[in-house]
Amino acid sequence: MTTALITGASTGIGEKFAKELASRQTNLVLVARSQDKLDNLATELSSKYQIKTTVIAQDLTTTAARKAVFDTVQAQNITIDLLINNAGFGDYGAFSDRPLSKMMEMVQLNISAVVELTGLFLPLMQTRKDGAIINVSSIAAFQPIPYMSVYAASKAFILNFSEALWAENKDLGVRILAICPGPTESEFYDRADFPKSTTAFNTMTMASAEAVVKESLRALDKSQSTAVVGGFKNQIIVNLPRLMPRDLLVGVVGKQFKHI
Ligand SMILES: NC(=O)c1ccc[n+]([C@@H]2O[C@H](COP(=O)([O-])OP(=O)(O)OC[C@H]3O[C@@H](n4cnc5c(N)ncnc54)[C@H](OP(=O)(O)O)[C@@H]3O)[C@@H](O)[C@H]2O)c1
């Protein structure tokens, strides 16, 4: 049986990855801050599918926490076949209006945790010439987003980082995939305090997290570097920026995201 480690497994897309992989007889290591939610999910999935589950409650914004996750997995002799770097959050508002500490926390979780967990687990996969990493980027990666500047930039980092690693590892037996969901049902928008009065919010089509997960796992089966998931509209959104001058692009996106 294979084992997947999923960060941000307590809700949303990460929780649905856990449910889908459990139904495919994958053992799970579930990571997030909410110990109770992870424990409940682990109990539900291990009794429903007879899989092994391990819960590691950690706040991944620190290096110590990421090392604790790695050390716990090593101490229990668990081989991670699939690492899903999914934990992340957004925050709405003009950069200078938002607490700098929150922006730095976002950089720590959305970028540093992904780089560090990848750096810890990838060499083991390379030695085995087997394994896969899914990094959760976003369609926000394809253009700057005023009022979500750090978030969109963090997802651009993840997309570029993952695609480069895909090329470095494709002949080494390790698959790397960046998934780029569009708007997806989860706690993301509430947690980001995203205002319902924006054009962006009112023109969104929400995909289900289950559909996003299934599409992502199909892309992994095909060893793709990148998968824009969650509906055809997202394919259009990510391709439009190629056709527009960047000043015009960021101006148009800014109007969509401005709080009215
Ligand atoms: N929903 C969308 O429209 C959308 C679109 C594109 C990309 N994404 C990306 O998808 C990923 C999952 O988000 P989601 O939509 O499923 O949102 P969500 O429902 O808010 O889930 C976020 C997950 O991350 C965990 N998390 C947050 N802060 C953490 C921390 N400091 N340490 C460890 N875990 C932490 C949360 O658990 P705890 O609170 O228990 O720690 C939760 O399990 C994110 O990377 C997000 O950027 C979402």
Q: What are phi and psi of 198, to 5 degrees?
A: -85, 150
CATH code assigned at 168: 3.40.50.720
Collapsing DSSP to helix, strand or coil, 106 comes out as helix
Note the pLDDT tens digit of each residue in 74-107. Answer: 999 999 999 999 999 999 999 999 999 999 999 9
Give the domain range for residue 75.
3-257
Q: Which of 92, 147, 151, 189 is catalytic?
A: 151
Residue nearest to atom 31 of ligand 1 (CA): 59
Comparing CA positions, the residue from 183, 157, 13 lying closest to residue 84 is 13
Give the integer Cα–Cα distance in Å for 171 and 200.
40
Best residue for ligand 1 mutational test, from 89, 187, 203 (most atoms within 8 Å of Cβ): 89
Active site residue 151: yes
pLDDT at 235 > cutoff 90: yes
Region 169-174 average pLDDT: 97
Structure tokens at 37: 């939610």
pLDDT of 16 reads 98
Within a 13 Å sphere around the CA of 20, how many CA atoms are in the beta-carbon half? Answer: 19
Q: What does each C-alpha distance from 14 to 21, 28, 126, 196 come to in angstroms?
A: 11, 12, 25, 24
Structure tokens at 252: 């148009």
pLDDT at 54 > cutoff 90: yes
**Which residues are paired to 31 by β-bridges?**
7, 56
Note the pLDDT tens digit of each residue in 108-139. Answer: 999 999 999 999 999 999 999 999 999 999 99
pLDDT of 260 reads 73
Best residue for ligand 1 mutational test, from 16, 36, 105, 188 (most atoms within 8 Å of Cβ): 188
Across 13-43, b (16+ Cβ under 10 Å) vs e yields bbbbbbbbbbeeebbbbbbbeeeebbeebbe
What's the total number of domains in the chain? 1
Q: How far is the CA of 154 from the centre of ligand 1 (A)?
A: 13
Note the pLDDT tens digit of each residue in 175-193. Answer: 999 999 999 999 999 999 9
pLDDT of 157 reads 99
Across 162-177, b (16+ Cβ under 10 Å) vs e yields bbebbeebeeeebbbb
pLDDT band at residue 224, thresholds of 50, 70 and 90? very high
Give the integer Cα–Cα distance in Å for 134 and 217.
9
Is the separation of the CB atoms in 168 and 146 below 8 Å? no
| CB-based pocket (< 6 A), ligand 1 | 7-14, 32-34, 37, 59-61, 86-89, 109, 136, 138, 181, 183-184, 186-188, 191
